[in-house]
Amino acid sequence: MRCFRSFLAVSCLALLAGCGSGESNVESGNREGLLHYGNGAEPQGLDPHVVTGVPENHLIRALFEGLAVKNPKTLEPEPGVAERWEISDDGTVYTFYINPDAKWSNGESITASDYVWSWHRALHPDTGALYAYMLYPIANSEAYSKREITDFNEVGVKALDDLTLQVTLNAPTPYFLQLMDHYSSFAVHPETLLQHGKMTDRFTPWTRVGNIVSNGAFTLEEWSLNRRIIMKKNDHYWDRDNVALNGVVFYPTENVVSEERMFRAEQLHYTQVVPLDKIPGYRETGNPSYVQAPYLGTYYYLVNTERPPVDNVLVRRALSLALDRDTLTRTVLQDTAIPAYSITPPDTLGYNPPKLFAHDPEKARQLLADAGYPNGEGWPGLEIIYNTQEAHRKIAVAVQQMWKRELNIDITIANQEWKVYLDSVSQRNFQVARRGWIGDYVDANNFLDLFITDGGNNNTGYANEVYDDIILNRAPKAKSRDERYGLFYEAETMLMQEMPIIPIYTYTSKHLVHPSVEGIYPNLMDSLNLKYVTLHPERRLNEEAN
């Protein structure tokens, strides 16, 4: 198998087998039990209570495990660190019984107190965890996170003994077990963190190779920046006998063209995405390596409502109405996405969001004129930022052209490396930013709670007390699903009238998967649990498809 000279330097340097060795990564990986995995951007970090991105999620869920995990086919919760749990009749008290065989990667037993300490850290206001709100269903957790109370003992999480964790909620929370498989709820090893700083310190050396203590199916062996991350099977993992892989090699593959070439050269078992212009070819040949599936996620433009000219709701609405989402998804996205008119994907566990607008250039021009920019006159300029990836660039160029054609306004676009982009968004150093949100659990709440006032992932400046009350108080106390969904609909209507975001499309997942790989199943959350993956050396790519 030959190497392509047009690869990024990282592509050949990162290959374990090496170019010119006569054996591809897939061949050696199948023989040695090593999965070679394209992971998108270089990760920001590996601290479960600090990071927020999809690339980080893949890595952390290989290194750590929650009280419950998702079944890779059905997404139903099944035992993880907790071997079982009980739920009170009123749905507000969860008792988790920790598996006595669950251990940290240094061989120490995992205890209920580890979870109390870890959730204390995740909720502590000094930690600044952007996902702290994921734990807000727990009694008094929000009050503690917002410094309204200072005694963590008042928060509804208690270690009844070494192996019994009791969690008391504010109200019944249908998706609470799903949260136990989100990395914001993962336990970390207290002693390891404290060796490298205070409980609330961020980005300390505790996550480096040789320091990190984790509890998942794999352990961290190597992290070569912008080259590869290598993990090996964890000998102390409680379910190690059912883990078929001996290790995983993760590659930073922001350049999706190179990633696809690596796959065709059998240097990757799995790609994170597929270049849009390659998809028709895979479809036409019926190549089974191309796997597309529904995905619980929305691609949208984040708007900084405190920066002119998008501080004006008329401008935000004009920009949204001027977008021809049908044309964009059909042409630029090769019919791999669904036009979106709200933040929540349609039919999210039976909930369907409002559709308050459509493509309406004439009304968009009138709104822009009402905002003081008739036919674009006096337009002060606007910049869209996006993290470096070809698909994001193509979308931004298409949007730029639509807004010029329909509204006669000039837009600039700028790409940023992943970590810089994350900093720009978190610091609100932007006017409009490309953003995508993938469901952390299957419930509309996971999309709507993004926009509560001062929420960790609310980077828009949007604040509405009525909206907050619906999402944080009224919906959780609803007596029926219909009542709860009705409140969600009311809140989402308010959101899309104010339009702190411009929804663009609902995702599908798109991957290339080598036929030797079994156990990576398409599902609504594109959720991957590497403990289920096996490799079959006898299965090869169809040479004609290459």
Find the mean pLDDT for residues 392-419. 97
Give the confidence band of 86 by pLDDT, cuts at 50, 70, 90. Answer: very high
133 lies in a domain?
A: yes
Q: What would the mean pLDDT of 70-89 be, rounded to a whole number? A: 94
> Does 503 lie in the same domain as 364?
yes
> Do 478 and 347 have their domain in common?
yes
Residues 494 and 517 in one domain: no
* 183 in a structural domain: yes
In a domain, 534, yes or no: yes
- Give yes or no: residues 497 and 370 share one domain: yes
pLDDT of residue 440: 86
Pairing of strands 247-251, 34-38: parallel
Phi, psi dihedrals of residue 122, rounded to the nearest 5°: -60, -30
What's the mean pLDDT in 155-173?
97
Amino acid at 329: T
For 376-402, the pLDDT digits (tens) are: 999 999 999 999 999 999 999 999 999
Res 544: pLDDT: 38
pLDDT in tens, 455-508: 888 999 999 999 999 999 999 889 899 999 999 999 999 999 999 999 999 999
Q: How far apart are CA 258 and CA 521, in angstroms?
A: 24
For 327-364, b where at least 16 C-beta lie within 10 A, e where not — what string? ebbeebbbebbbbbbbbbbeebeebebbeebebbbeeb
Last residue of a domain, one of 195, 212, 244: 195
Give the pLDDT of residue 541: 78
Beta-bridge partner residues of 294: 508
Q: What is the mean pLDDT of residues 188-212?
A: 97
One domain for residues 145 and 173: yes
DSSP annotation string for 405-435: HHH---EEEEEE-HHHHHHHHHTT--SEEEE
Query: What is residue 236's predicted lDDT score, i.e. its pLDDT?
Result: 98
Contacts of 326 (CB under 8 A, 6+ apart): 339, 359
Judge if 21 and 76 occupy the same domain: no
Contacts of residue 343, defined as CB under 8 A and 6 or more positions apart, other chains included, come to: 298, 300, 353, 437, 447, 448, 450, 451, 492, 495, 496, 501, 503
Q: What is the pTM of this model?
A: 0.82
Parent domain of 128 = 64-195
502 and 518 both lie in a single domain: no
Is the peptide bond between 309 and the residue preceding it cis, with omega within 30 degrees of 0?
A: yes
Q: How confident is the model at residue 186 (pLDDT cuts 50, 70, 90)?
A: very high
The DSSP output letter for 42 is: P
